[in-house]
Amino acid sequence: MWSSHRAGRSRRCRRTAWWTSCLQRSPPPALGAAAGRSDYRCLPGGGPAAPKEERMRATELFVPTLKEDPADAEAVSHKLLVRGGFVRQLAAGIYIFLPLGWRVLGRINQIIREEMNAIGGVEVSMPTLHPAEVWQQSGRYDAIGSEMFRLKDRNDRPMVLAMTHEEVFAWLAAHELRSYRDLPQIWYQIQIKFRDEPRAKGGILRVREFLMKDSYSFDLDFDGLEVSYNKHIVAYDNIFQRCGLKFYRVESDPGMMGGATAHEYMAPTPAGEDLVALCPQCGYSANLEMARSIATPPEPYAPGTIPEEPAEVETPERRTIAEVSEFLGIPASSLIKSLLVMTADEQPVLALVRGDHELHEGKLSRVLQQEIRPAHPDEVRGILGVEVGFVGPVGVPQRVRVIADECLAPTGPGGERPYVVGGNKAHVHLRGVKLGRDLSPAYADLREARSGDQCPFCGGKLGVEQVLEVGNIFKLGLKYSVPMKANVLDESGKERPVVMGSYGIGPARIAAGAVEQCHDERGIIWPKAIAPFDVYLVQVQSQDDLQTEVAASLHDALELGGLECLWDNRQERAGVKFADADLIGCPVRVTVGKRVSEGLVEVQPRAGGARQEVSVSDVPEVVKGLLA
RNA sequence: CGGGGCGUAGCGCAGCCUGGUAGCGCGCAGCGUUCGGGACGCUGAGGUCCCGGGUUCAAAUCCCGGCGCCCCGACCA
């Protein structure tokens, strides 16, 4: 497979430095008992590498650990991955993976491959440099902004660096799939993607060049898509589980990917950038962009503070909910927040949410089916004739669409009740306004769900948690197959577009998420399946012949047993080796020290638990027990 | 794209305010002692002080412009 891959590659890349793309595109090492040592060299000159010393010694592996946190790191995973010698930063959002980091990715990728293959996926490798036409054909060349790297080749031909591969996979499908008999297909790759993030951050959490497993399913109809989608759910559940990650599968916004249904796989960690709502009772879970919930009823207001009929009240210099609430002695939940936004086609829309709630712009945008932005203060004055802070929904010009959050409806949790709103007049608010009577807005789910809300399905109490997106799955439908003309003939000989799905996983995010979830003050505690090595073998005295002999035999015995072992044979003091062992975080440490003359070595799990003295011959068994 | 911070040895930092021979810790090299939780002593190497311009007898330091990196927000297919 390796040789044929190379042959194909070199033909295409003859005139350029073919090995650069080869390096980038070479599949990461398959690890495990059968793989490992000499299989992955991809250097100029190519060919199988010369046989290498069998044992993995620390003195030969490049592991530049650091005592101090790097100054530019904030996230725990960033600090530990840099300190542990897993990665180095080349530029903003561009990272080098060092041997240890690459091994971790290799293990993750291997798990991904096994699970993708198990659902019938087949692996391919797509270019990361695309002619712009392909993206023009789908319309995304114009739809996507400066987040796409764009460049020109020597002939001035516009090119792009791939942010994702829907177009190219659809292109391939269009060219090669002819008949319903060719379907279904699941094609995947583990490939570099480029996104010119406006702001890279968090070490390897949010970067501009990154590895991604992406797969694409091709089916004859939507029932087929359903099957492919569900297969991916199975594969993804297995992948994240095997990687030792705590994760949720949540409903997500299909967004610009198009299509109807989408889920995201989320690893809970404070380093994450997303929020999800979770119901512990029935398992409902959704990205906050989507999350439905039932608001807690508004607090009761003191009798007499809000009249039953609209009445103006002077509220000098009281512009915010907090100020008005305090000034009038009325709970924030009895106020209505009126927010003017502008749609992409410059139409004003007034959004209403309860005073103690937050408008979710994404939800509003979805309701309006276009992008929105908050109106500028002078636009507010121009359209409503009043300064921000006193805007209200009563008596707004006809051309302003008014949409209220559904919890404000008379049928909502607050029932039919009077609210306080902006007076649309400087320094004036309006008390006693009832929706349905004094105004009849459209209703929609506009508010951001929050902790303590009721689950819309079972009534349980929703929690909101911070999470890192590690994977996503989308039902694309015909969004790409139609413009890319990916059609096949069905049984009746009629041409129809294939139904697509697309599915992503960020291997480096799995790694970073695992570090965020599993570490202590001394370093990383890798989940067993994705650690760079299973065993960190410390030889306390590197000059001691007996220790050397025993360490070597232990290394071999462990490897024979299918375990990967890093032998720390460096001429360092014991403390240094222990500290590095803790920092690097392999699941088991085996220490060959003083008592080796009695035939005893130490075995200690990194995650905690007893350090035990074990006779040399029992080590493989004991270690296997710990890794089971 | 708005707001803030930083840029001096491989890494972490001081020096800048108040201009006058560029420093500390770690790391690195050599020698010696030490040797199961980031040892100690001695010796030594290592710098376009981010870049460009300006002020000045003199700029790491003051002024102007640029670049890079980090953080908060916006964005995130």
Considering only residues 253-272 of chain A, list those whose CB is below 7 Å from strand B: 255-257
Give residue A258's pLDDT.
55
Which helix (DSSP H) or strand (DSSP E) does residue A171 occupy? Answer: helix A166-176
A224, A481 Cβ separation under 8 angstroms:
no
Whether A356 and A497 map to the same domain: the answer is: no
A91/B16 CA-to-C1' distance in Å: 28
Residues A249 and A376 in one domain: no
What does A192-237 look like in DSSP terms, one character per residue? EEE---SS-BTGGGB-SEEEEEEEEEEESSHHHHHHHHHHHHHHHH
Q: Are A202 and A76 in contact (CB under 8 A)?
A: no
CA distances (Å), origin A515, targets A237, A316, A510: 19, 52, 9
The reply to whether A139 has its C-beta less than 7 Å from any atom of strand B is no
Cβ contact A591 with chain B strand, < 7 A:
yes
Q: Angle formed by the axes of helices A99-118 and A222-242, to 10°?
A: 140
Residue A93 in 3-state DSSP? coil
Ramachandran category for residue A153: left, alpha or beta (phi over 0 → left; psi -120 to 50 → alpha): beta
Q: Are the C-beta atoms of A390 and A424 separated by less than 8 Å?
A: yes
SS3 A96: strand
CA A180 from chain centre, in angstroms, equals: 34
Q: Distance from first CA to last CA of chain A, Å, rounded?
A: 32
| Contact in structure between A571 and A542 (CB atoms under 8 Å) | yes
Residues A473 and A498 reside in one and the same domain: yes
Beta-carbon contacts of residue A603 (< 8 Å; ≥ 6 apart): A588, A589, A590, A591, A611, A612, A613, A614, A619, A622, A623, A626
Question: How high is the pLDDT of residue A415?
Answer: 87
Residue A277 shares a structural domain with residue A132: yes
With respect to residue A413, please indicate whether it lies within any of the assigned structural domains: yes
Q: How far is the CA of A298 from the C1' of B73 (A)?
A: 30
Tens-place pLDDT, residues A326-350: 999 999 999 999 999 888 888 899 9
Distance, CA of A61 to C1' of B9, in Å:
26
A391, A410, A444 — which closes off a domain? A444
DSSP A57: B
Residues 365-384 of A with CB under 7 A from strand B: none
b/e sequence A390-408, b meaning 16+ C-beta within 10 Å:
bbbbeebeeeebbbbbbbb
Q: Name residue A159's beta-bridge partners.
A: A131, A151
CA angle A385, A388, A391 (to 5 degrees): 65
- Listed in sequence order, the DSSP H helices in A564-614 are 574-584
- Cβ burial, residue A518 (10 Å; 0-12/13-18/19+): middle
Q: What pLDDT is attached to residue A319?
A: 87
Q: Please check whether residue A244 lies inside any domain of the structure.
A: yes
Q: Residues A404, A381: one domain? A: yes
In a domain, A525, yes or no: no
Half-sphere exposure of A184 (CA within 13 A, CB side): 22
Q: What angle do CA A435, A441, A444 make, to 5 degrees?
A: 105
Task: Classify each residue of A55-83 as buried b or exposed e, where b means 16 or more C-beta atoms within 10 Å of its C-beta.
Answer: bbbbeebebebeeeeeeebebbbbbbbbb
pLDDT for the residue numbered A13: 32
Q: CA-CA distance, A61 to A573, in Å (whole number)?
A: 18
**Which pLDDT score is estimated for A36?**
34
Interface predicted TM-score (ipTM): 0.95
Q: Measured in angstroms, what separates residue A358's CA from nucleotide B31's C1'?
A: 69
A299 within some domain: no
Structure tokens belonging to residue A499: 């139904």
> Is the minimum distance from the CB of A223 to strand B below 7 Å?
no
| End position of a domain, from candidates A444, A460, A485 | A444
List the A522 CA – B72 C1' distance (angstroms): 29
Residues A76/A519, Cβ–Cβ less than 8 Å:
yes
Q: What are phi and psi of A88, to 5 degrees?
A: -140, 150
A217: closest CA among A169, A174, A257?
A: A169
pLDDT at residue A256, rounded to an integer: 54
Q: How deeply is A260 buried, as exposed, middle or buried, from its count of CB atoms within 10 A (0-12, 13-18, 19+)?
A: exposed
Q: What are A518's two structure tokens?
A: 């599993």
* Count of domains observed in chain A: 4
Among all chains, which residue has been given the structure tokens 């023009």?
A136
Cα Rg, chain A, nearest whole Å: 30
Nucleotides of B under 7 A from a protein CB: 1-2, 11-13, 25-27, 34-39, 68-77
| Contact (CB, 8 A) for A112 and A33 | no
Query: Does A453 map to a domain?
Result: no
Identity of residue A601: V
Question: Last residue of some domain: A396, A428, A444?
Answer: A444
Peptide bond into A184 cis (omega under 30): yes
Q: Could you tell me if A424 and A485 lie in one domain?
A: no
Residues 34-63 of A with CB within 7 A of strand B: none
Do A340 and A264 lie in a common domain?
Answer: no
CB within 7 A of strand B (chain A, 519-578)? 522, 540-541, 573-576, 578
Query: Nearest nucleotide to A596 by CA–C1' distance?
Result: B36
Q: Does residue A473 share a domain with residue A330?
A: no
Using alpha carbons, select from A531, A130, A459, A123 the residue that is nearest to residue A292. A459
Q: Å between A335 CA and B63 C1'?
A: 53
Which residues in chain A come in under a pLDDT of 70?
1-53, 255-259
Q: b/e per residue, A348-370, with b = 16+ CB within 10 A?
A: bbbbbbbbbbebbbbbbbbbbee
Structure tokens at A477: 């439908």
Q: Which CATH number is A372's domain given?
A: 3.90.960.10
Q: What angle do CA A462, A463, A469 make, to 5 degrees?
A: 120
Residues A7 and A132 in one domain: no
| Contact, A130 CB vs strand B, < 7 Å | no
At A414 the pLDDT is 87
- Residue A186's nearest CA partner among A196, A175, A173 is A173
Q: Are residues A334 and A423 in the same domain?
A: yes
A550 and A595 together in one domain: yes
Give A574 CA → B34 C1' in Å. Answer: 12
**A235-252 b/e with 16+ CB inside 10 Å = b?**
bbebbbebbbbbbbbbbb
The reply to whether A523 falls in a domain is: no
Query: How do strand A185-194 and strand A209-219 relate by DSSP bridges?
Result: antiparallel
* Count of H-run helices and E-run strands, chain A: 15, 31
Quick check: helix, strand or coil at residue A337?
strand
* pLDDT tens string A365-402: 888 888 888 888 888 888 888 888 899 999 899 889 99
Q: What is the residue range of A550's domain?
A: 533-627
Q: How far apart are CA A144 and CA A159, in angstroms?
A: 14
pLDDT in the model for residue A6: 30
Same domain for A222 and A322, yes or no, is: no
Longest dimension (CA), chain A: 94
Q: Is residue A454 part of a domain?
A: no
Pair A431, A306: CB distance under 8 Å: yes
CATH number of the domain encompassing residue A141: 3.30.930.10
Strands (E) across A147-184 are located at: 150-152, 158-161
CATH number at residue A573: 3.40.50.800
Q: Is residue A283, in this structure, part of any structural domain at all?
A: yes
For tokens 């995650």, the residue is A607
